[in-house]
């Protein structure tokens, strides 16, 4: 079997399937766009889900790809096993309702064994099939595989929730007796147990059934469109064709590991530290190049964890300075033929990595020192979840890093307790993994509907003919109730590209219906969801479509403003900004974009101003349909994750040029004005801006500033209460703030209101401090009311006093002042609250322990507390035990007497 490099394997894979009529799809970015079911793209089929569940019909029903993937669910196995990676490439061939089991098996066998391709001896190939899938077994025998190389397994059935599912056939390569020292590998293989000789290299999923909750597998209905979904891990193929022991010895990893050898002065002999670093830097490099960033939540947290894990393993090999950024070039060099865009991103990725390394190294040393202290002081070989949380919160230690460190020392840590503190502090807003949603069920009637439907731009009403009517699951000839309708021509826009669908009316001689939604069928037709108001609608009936013109004009004004907003962001902030998604309806425009820098209010004010200058310039919008390559030469902006056909629609608004199928204003003056009313960071270098246009601005800005105004009112009420309390005590304080009452007209006004609130909050805070200071001063000038309660027991001055609703800081100051006048004394304040709860403060300079007294008092009061022998505080839910506690303190004092 000949040696093949990773590029040889990729090229051969693509060549074979393109010869078989498959369309080559470039790898989608690692960050899923408009798919909240995934944190990362984690399988070759993930970007193609819309084809498999029938939402869309692809340009070609035969697809081949090699997809970048990240999986971190078994990160702890990276470096331990020979084949676990967080970043990997999944080679796949797919059939969407075209060929099926017979052809898929024949293709797999030909590709693997033919001298024109991979030329593997068929005697080295073994397969598993689903126990009930006799057809797959027969097909493997038919292509030439020996029956004793076919293993039936009950587990060979691919199914995730409801939707498409089916049996699968896994293909294995026999690595030989070298990997079978005890001769038991084949028995283990047949029993689906771990062994090293027979290695899985490819899985073919025959997606032919529709799973349904509560239905037994044997009763699943067959899919109207059967599919093929396959996955072959490139790294494993490299291992086979380069005849090495593990994936880490292949040409995908060796250049990176060689550089680590130089940086560490260690020779690689299989150490896990080398593997972890080499794997993680591949994942980090590709993720950052695809638009992710380091963060404390979501995928950013995953990247931060990978980097910090790598840094720690580098330190274990004596690398004390930032070094990971130096390995980025190695990753780029290895992958440059398959992913040439990495060259453009190389410097940017290096910068992000070195800055993150520096940040971590600053806190790592202190964190490790603290962790060692905890380990040395522990008598139970266990660190509390609270301490683990403090390490995360203070030193940036991910829990997994703490857990890994402790595991090496034979220690445990409570993850449950750690998560409790995380939740309480709200430090982790999102989970670090997401569950893969099952694909939606296919709709046979829509999949089989192929009659064309034309969408007509620039009109708000037109005459047409009803071409098809659908119930929930079937195509029907007529309907007297709510239904779904396709027409030969329509002016109703179907929701896509972030623009909502139109609404309006469809009128016929025998019916009247309200259009409440419009969506695209798998074959691209616009399907109108109807609320039937009267009559019966029939296939073939002539009708008139009338959309809500006022609503459409608001929507297209917002859509055009989204284009203008992107152009303004690129001109004012950075040309690196590119769209990550958008949403426009009749009330607002929401624009998501990728930008590696920091966004500021000042820059957004400039952006808004620039955009409005464009709008006021009366720019005519033009559209043109042209070849994709021509559009690219014009510099047309495209959505990062979108797949485009050979012909595209280009929308030009001044110097803004974008690929877009949506509706737009004819002239920018129709927009009127644009106002940004909010922005936020969504993590991973993604920002979101929301704005409004025209008559919607006043409402949007009012809603945006209302929370600030409400909070300002609360703060002013608080200030008034403080001033009234001050007067009661015969004191005087000044408080003066100016509040604007002008109506907002732009984002600048929102910023002003926010800053004004911060000013009010700071002024009220200072007022409160002055008030507390005056109160404390007044109280300390009149200590006689406390001194009158002091008892002298054999030279011990004992002050036990119950007060009502006093501030704890004030009581502390009083206790401190009184204690300074006592040679030997004990002070115990019982502060009764209006809700029936109680607080305690104790101060001592004698033999009575303040900590012990408060701890016991708190427990008796159903609370907690404690402290040192000289000072303690606590509290409880009930004051029923106060008399008992007072007697106890006196007994302690008398006992010493």
700 with 674: CB under 8 angstroms? no
- Whole-angstrom Cα distance, residue 181 to residue 658? 62
| pLDDT (tens digit per residue) in 677-719 | 999 987 667 899 999 999 999 999 999 999 999 999 999 999 9
Helix (H, G, I), strand (E, B) or coil at 387: helix
Q: What share of the chain is helix, strand, coil (3-state, %, to 5)?
A: 40, 25, 35
| pLDDT (tens digit per residue) in 355-370 | 999 888 877 777 777 8
pLDDT band at 437 (very low <50, low <70, confident <90, very high): very low
730 exposed, middle or buried (CB, 10 Å; 0-12, 13-18, 19+)?
exposed
- Whole-angstrom Cα distance, residue 486 to residue 128? 45
Kindly state the average pLDDT of the residues 185-212.
92
Alpha carbon distances (Å) from 67 to 26, 45, 107, 232: 8, 8, 20, 10
Residue 158 pLDDT greater than 50, yes or no:
yes
For residue 436, the model assigns a pLDDT of 33
Residue 574 pLDDT greater than 80, yes or no:
yes
H/E stretch holding 493 reads: none
- Whole-angstrom Cα distance, residue 331 to residue 289? 12
Task: For 705, list phi and psi in degrees, rounded to 5.
Answer: -90, -10
β-pair type (382-383, 412-413): parallel
For residue 147, the model assigns a pLDDT of 95
Alpha carbon distances (Å) from 229 to 16, 102, 112: 16, 14, 17
For residue 445, the model assigns a pLDDT of 85
For residue 684, the model assigns a pLDDT of 65
How many CB atoms neighbour CB 387 within 10 A? 20
641 with 33: CB under 8 angstroms? yes
For residue 752, the model assigns a pLDDT of 92
| pLDDT (tens digit per residue) in 576-619 | 898 888 999 999 999 999 888 889 999 999 999 999 999 999 99
For residue 430, the model assigns a pLDDT of 35
Tell me the two tokens of residue 747. 């984002």
Of 489, 493, 480, which is closest to residue 531 (Cα–Cα)? Answer: 480
| pLDDT (tens digit per residue) in 268-288 | 999 999 999 999 999 999 999
Residue 640 pLDDT greater than 60, yes or no:
no
- Whole-angstrom Cα distance, residue 349 to residue 294? 11
Q: What angle in degrees, to the nearest 10, is found between the helix axes of 385-395 and 341-377?
A: 140
| pLDDT (tens digit per residue) in 708-760 | 999 999 999 999 988 888 887 777 788 888 888 788 899 999 999 999 999 99
Question: What distance lies between CA 349 and its chain's CA centroid?
Answer: 20
Of 145, 192, 191, 135, which is closest to residue 167 (Cα–Cα)? Answer: 135
205 exposed, middle or buried (CB, 10 Å; 0-12, 13-18, 19+)?
buried
- Whole-angstrom Cα distance, residue 302 to residue 31? 13
- Whole-angstrom Cα distance, residue 853 to residue 865? 10
Residue 44 pLDDT greater than 50, yes or no:
yes
- Whole-angstrom Cα distance, residue 428 to residue 418? 11
294 with 300: CB under 8 angstroms? yes
- Whole-angstrom Cα distance, residue 9 to residue 90? 12
| Whole-number average pLDDT of the chain | 89
Residue 511 pLDDT greater than 90, yes or no:
yes
Kindly state the average pLDDT of the residues 422-443.
47
pLDDT band at 865 (very low <50, low <70, confident <90, very high): confident
Tell me the two tokens of residue 650. 């280009």
Q: What angle in degrees, to the nearest 10, is found between the helix axes of 272-289 and 341-377?
A: 130
CA angle 277, 280, 286 (to 5 degrees): 135
Of 787, 836, 781, 837, which is closest to residue 810 (Cα–Cα)? Answer: 781
Instruction: Choose the weakest-confidence range: 134-138, 299-303, 699-703.
Output: 299-303
- Whole-angstrom Cα distance, residue 404 to residue 309? 9
- Whole-angstrom Cα distance, residue 179 to residue 195? 8
Residue with tokens 């000839």: 477
- Whole-angstrom Cα distance, residue 777 to residue 265? 67
Residue 662 pLDDT greater than 80, yes or no:
yes
887 exposed, middle or buried (CB, 10 Å; 0-12, 13-18, 19+)?
exposed
Of 452, 425, 591, which is closest to residue 523 (Cα–Cα)? Answer: 452
Residue 346 pLDDT greater than 90, yes or no:
yes
Dihedral sign of CA atoms 75, 76, 80, 81 in order: negative
Q: Between 319 and 888, where is the model more confident?
A: 319
Alpha carbon distances (Å) from 875 to 663, 812, 864: 64, 14, 6
- Whole-angstrom Cα distance, residue 95 to residue 113? 21
Residue with tokens 């801006």: 689
For residue 429, the model assigns a pLDDT of 34
For residue 466, the model assigns a pLDDT of 97
Residue 65 pLDDT greater than 90, yes or no:
yes
Helix (H, G, I), strand (E, B) or coil at 787: helix
Q: What is the percent of the chain with per-residue pLDDT over 70, rounded to a whole number?
A: 96
140 with 110: CB under 8 angstroms? no
Residue 548 pLDDT greater than 60, yes or no:
yes
For residue 411, the model assigns a pLDDT of 87
Of 561, 550, 589, which is closest to residue 668 (Cα–Cα)? Answer: 561
End-to-end Cα, the chain, rounded Å = 96
pLDDT band at 415 (very low <50, low <70, confident <90, very high): confident
DSSP secondary structure code for residue 496 in this structure: B
For residue 371, the model assigns a pLDDT of 83
For residue 327, the model assigns a pLDDT of 97
Residue 432 pLDDT greater than 70, yes or no:
no
- Whole-angstrom Cα distance, residue 842 to residue 815? 8
For residue 442, the model assigns a pLDDT of 63
How many CB atoms neighbour CB 745 within 10 A? 12
Buried b (16+ CB within 10 A) or exposed e, 213-226: eeeeeeebeebebb
Residue 419 pLDDT greater than 60, yes or no:
yes
Helices (H) and strands (E) in the chain, counts: 24, 35
For residue 573, the model assigns a pLDDT of 96
What number of residues does the chain have? 897
Q: What is the 3-state secondary structure (H, E, C) of 205-248?
A: EEEEEEECCCCCHHHCEEEEEEEEEEEEEHHHHHHHHCCCCCHH
127 exposed, middle or buried (CB, 10 Å; 0-12, 13-18, 19+)?
buried
Residue 659 pLDDT greater than 90, yes or no:
yes
Alpha helices in 684-821 (DSSP H): 696-728, 747-780, 784-787, 808-820
């Amino acid at each position: 079997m000949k040696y093949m490099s990773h590029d040889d394997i990729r090229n051969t894979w693509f060549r074979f399937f393109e010869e078989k009529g498959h369309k080559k799809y470039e790898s989608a970015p690692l960050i899923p766009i408009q798919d909240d079911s995934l944190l990362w793209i984690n399988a070759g089929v993930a970007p193609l889900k819309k084809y498999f569940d029938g939402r869309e019909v692809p340009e070609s029903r035969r697809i081949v790809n090699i997809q970048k993937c990240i999986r971190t669910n078994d990160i702890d196995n990276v470096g331990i096993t020979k084949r676990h990676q967080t970043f990997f490439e999944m080679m796949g061939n797919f059939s969407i309702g075209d060929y099926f089991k017979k052809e898929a098996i024949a293709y797999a066998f030909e590709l693997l064994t033919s001298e024109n391709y991979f030329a593997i001896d068929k005697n080295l190939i073994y397969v598993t099939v689903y126990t009930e899938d006799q057809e797959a077994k027969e097909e493997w025998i038919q292509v030439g595989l020996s029956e004793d190389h076919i293993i039936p397994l009950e587990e060979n059935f691919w199914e995730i929730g409801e939707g498409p599912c089916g049996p699968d056939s896994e293909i294995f390569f026999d690595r030989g007796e070298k990997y079978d020292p005890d001769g038991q590998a084949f028995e283990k293989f047949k029993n689906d147990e771990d062994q090293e000789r027979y290695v899985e290299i490819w899985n073919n999923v025959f997606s032919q059934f529709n799973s349904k909750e509560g239905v037994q597998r044997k009763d699943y209905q067959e899919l109207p469109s059967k599919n093929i979904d396959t996955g072959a891990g490139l790294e494993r193929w490299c291992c086979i064709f380069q005849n090495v022991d593990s994936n880490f010895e292949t040409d995908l990893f060796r250049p990176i590991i060689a550089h680590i050898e130089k940086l560490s002065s260690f020779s690689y002999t299989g150490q896990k530290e080398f593997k972890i670093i080499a794997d993680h830097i591949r994942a980090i490099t590709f993720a950052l190049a695809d638009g992710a960033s380091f963060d404390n939540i979501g995928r950013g947290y995953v990247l931060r964890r990978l980097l910090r894990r790598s840094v720690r393993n580098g330190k274990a090999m004596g690398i004390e300075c930032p070094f990971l950024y130096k390995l980025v070039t190695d990753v780029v060099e290895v992958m440059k033929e398959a992913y040439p865009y990495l060259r453009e991103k190389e410097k940017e990725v290096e910068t992000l990595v070195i800055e993150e390394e520096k940040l971590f190294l600053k806190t790592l040393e202190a964190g490790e020192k603290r962790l060692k202290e905890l380990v040395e002081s522990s008598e139970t070989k266990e660190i509390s979840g609270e301490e683990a949380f403090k390490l995360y919160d203070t030193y940036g230690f991910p829990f997994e890093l703490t857990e890994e460190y402790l595991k090496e020392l034979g220690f445990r840590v409570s993850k449950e307790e750690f998560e409790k503190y995380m939740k309480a502090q709200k430090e982790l807003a999102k989970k670090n993994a997401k569950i893969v949603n099952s694909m939606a069920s296919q709709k046979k009637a829509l999949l089989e509907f192929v009659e064309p439907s034309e969408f007509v731009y620039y009109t708000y009403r037109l005459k047409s003919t009803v071409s098809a009517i659908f119930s929930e699951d079937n195509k029907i000839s007529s309907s007297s109730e709510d239904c779904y309708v396709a027409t030969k021509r329509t002016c109703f826009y179907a929701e896509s590209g972030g623009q909502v669908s139109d609404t309006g009316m469809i009128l016929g001689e025998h019916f009247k219906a309200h259009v409440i939604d419009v969506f695209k069928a798998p074959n691209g037709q616009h399907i109108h969801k109807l609320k039937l108001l009267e009559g019966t609608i029939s296939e073939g009936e002539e009708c008139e479509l009338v959309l809500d013109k006022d609503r459409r004009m608001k929507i297209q004004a917002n859509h055009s403003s989204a284009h203008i907003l992107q152009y303004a962001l690129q001109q004012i902030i950075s040309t690196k900004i590119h769209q990550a998604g958008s949403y426009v309806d009749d009330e607002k425009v929401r624009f998501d974009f990728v930008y590696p820098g920091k966004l500021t209010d000042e820059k957004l004010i400039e952006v808004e101003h620039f955009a409005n200058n464009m709008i006021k310039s009366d720019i005519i919008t033009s559209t043109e349909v042209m070849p994709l390559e021509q559009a690219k030469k014009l510099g047309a902006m495209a959505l990062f994750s979108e797949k485009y056909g050979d012909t595209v629609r280009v929308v030009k608004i001044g110097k803004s040029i974008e690929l877009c199928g949506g509706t737009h204003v004819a002239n920018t003056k129709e927009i009127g004005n644009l106002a940004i009313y909010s922005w936020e960071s969504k993590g991973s270098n993604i920002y979101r801006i929301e704005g409004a246009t025209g008559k919607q601005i006043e409402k949007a800005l009012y809603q945006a500033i209302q929370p600030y105004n409400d909070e300002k009112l609360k703060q002013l009420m608080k200030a008034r209460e403080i001033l009234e309390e001050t007067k009661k005590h015969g004191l005087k304080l000044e408080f003066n703030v100016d509040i604007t009452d002008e109506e907002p007209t732009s984002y600048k006004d929102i910023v002003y209101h926010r800053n004004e609130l911060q000013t009010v909050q700071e002024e009220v805070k200072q007022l409160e401090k002055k008030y507390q200071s005056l109160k404390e001063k007044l109280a300390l000038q009149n200590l006689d009311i406390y001194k009158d309660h002091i008892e002298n027991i054999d030279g011990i001055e004992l002050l036990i006093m119950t007060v009502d609703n006093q501030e704890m800081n004030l009581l502390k100051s009083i206790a401190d002042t009184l204690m300074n006048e006592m040679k030997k004394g004990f002070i115990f304040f019982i502060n009764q609250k209006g809700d029936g709860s109680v607080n305690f403060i104790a101060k001592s300079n004698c033999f009575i322990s303040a900590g012990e007294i408060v701890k016991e008092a708190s427990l008796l009061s159903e609370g907690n507390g404690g402290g040192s022998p000289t000072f303690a505080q606590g509290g409880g839910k009930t004051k029923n035990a106060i008399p008992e506690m007072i007697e106890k303190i006196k007994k302690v004092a008398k006992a010493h007497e």
